[in-house]
């Protein structure tokens, strides 16, 4: 029985991390969450410098999020991360956000891969990099939940801006949520609350690209399912499904 190392950090939710609903935006929430895994890596001597010394860098390919309640402005949340399991190519890392009473607000399952930053190809998992996290080695490739395609939708174009590239030198995955969420519009976003998100990042967009944020809404019981595709010149860059309940 393996018990991978857990790492927890507190965070006070600021007004500028929240939207008009008084709850945290996806980019802010994912920023804080990923920072926690970076802090754990630094603490274990496996920070970005160490990873880069092998010519490698971490890339996130999938998130699956279950949201009981989004963090609210002013509250102090605890963010916990744990590198659960890995196989030859994929590392499975979980995140949890708890409120001050220890109630689980959000659970995020993610898939990380190591990429060679010269040839931009996926590398097999390097034991030296991941040993200190004490995650379990498994044979199986864990199947990610299937993301449903758009049948007929609408879209808006978005240009990738300078501030969409973060200090890790590429367009932050969390930024895709700017385009995915914005396209739904004010009326939708002030009358619906997200409950579940699955997202897959297929290709990296780059500074100056003009992407298309496509979406489709499907009514479901007590809410709506939205399907999302970030496309450029007919190519798929990112796809997501979100379950929303009515407010």
The residues binding its own copies (CB under 8 A) are 14-22, 25, 27, 31-32, 34-35, 38, 73, 161-163, 165-169, 172, 174, 178, 181-182, 184-186, 189, 207-208
Closest distance to its own copies from the beta carbon of 55 (Å): 20
The pair of structure tokens assigned to 37 is 């895994």
Q: Closer CB to its own copies, residue 86 or residue 197? A: 197
Which residue from 87, 132, 128 is spatially nearest to 111, judged by alpha carbons?
87
Q: Closer CB to its own copies, residue 107 or residue 170? A: 170
The pair of structure tokens assigned to 192 is 């619906």
Could you give phi then psi for residue 64, rounded to 5 degrees?
-130, 120
Q: Closer CB to its own copies, residue 73 or residue 147? A: 73
Q: Closer CB to its own copies, residue 135 or residue 178? A: 178
The span from the CA of 79 to the CA of 40, in Å, is 11
Annotate 178-209 with b (16+ C-beta within 10 A) or e (fewer): bbbbebbeeeebeebebbebbbbbeeebeeee
The pair of structure tokens assigned to 223 is 């809410």
Closest distance to its own copies from the beta carbon of 89 (Å): 25
Q: Say what the alpha-carbon torsion angle 138, 8, 59, 203 is, to the nearest 10 degrees.
A: 110
Q: Closer CB to its own copies, residue 86 or residue 228? A: 228
Closest distance to its own copies from the beta carbon of 224 (Å): 16
Q: What are the beta bridge partners of residue 220?
A: 223
Closest distance to its own copies from the beta carbon of 187 (Å): 10
Closest distance to its own copies from the beta carbon of 188 (Å): 9
Which residue from 200, 202, 160 is spatially nearest to 179, judged by alpha carbons?
160
Q: Closer CB to its own copies, residue 55 or residue 157? A: 157
Closest distance to its own copies from the beta carbon of 206 (Å): 10
Annotate 131-146 with b (16+ C-beta within 10 A) or e (fewer): eebebeeeeeeeebee
């Amino acid at each position: 029985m393996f018990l991978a190392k857990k790492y927890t950090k507190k965070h006070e939710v600021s007004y500028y991390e929240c939207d008009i609903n008084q709850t945290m935006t996806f980019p802010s929430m994912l920023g804080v969450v990923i920072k926690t895994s970076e802090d754990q890596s630094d603490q274990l001597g496996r920070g970005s410098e160490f990873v880069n010394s092998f010519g490698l860098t971490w890339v996130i390919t999938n998130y699956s999020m279950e949201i009981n309640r989004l963090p609210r402005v002013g509250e102090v949340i605890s963010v916990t991360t744990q590198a659960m399991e890995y196989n030859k190519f994929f590392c499975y890392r979980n995140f949890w956000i708890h409120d001050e009473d220890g109630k689980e607000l959000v659970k995020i399952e993610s898939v990380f891969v190591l990429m060679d930053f010269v040839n931009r190809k996926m590398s097999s998992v390097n034991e030296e990099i991941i040993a200190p996290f004490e995650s379990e080695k498994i044979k199986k490739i864990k199947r990610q939940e299937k993301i449903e395609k758009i049948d007929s939708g609408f879209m808006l174009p978005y240009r990738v801006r300078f501030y969409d590239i973060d200090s890790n030198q590429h367009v932050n995955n969390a930024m895709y949520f700017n385009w995915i969420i914005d396209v739904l519009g004010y009326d939708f976003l002030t009358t619906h609350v997200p409950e579940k998100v699955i997202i897959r990042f297929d290709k990296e967009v780059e500074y100056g690209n003009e992407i298309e944020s496509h979406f489709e809404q499907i009514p479901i019981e007590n809410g709506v399912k939205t399907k999302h595709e970030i496309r450029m010149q007919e190519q798929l860059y990112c796809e997501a499904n979100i379950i929303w309940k009515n407010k």
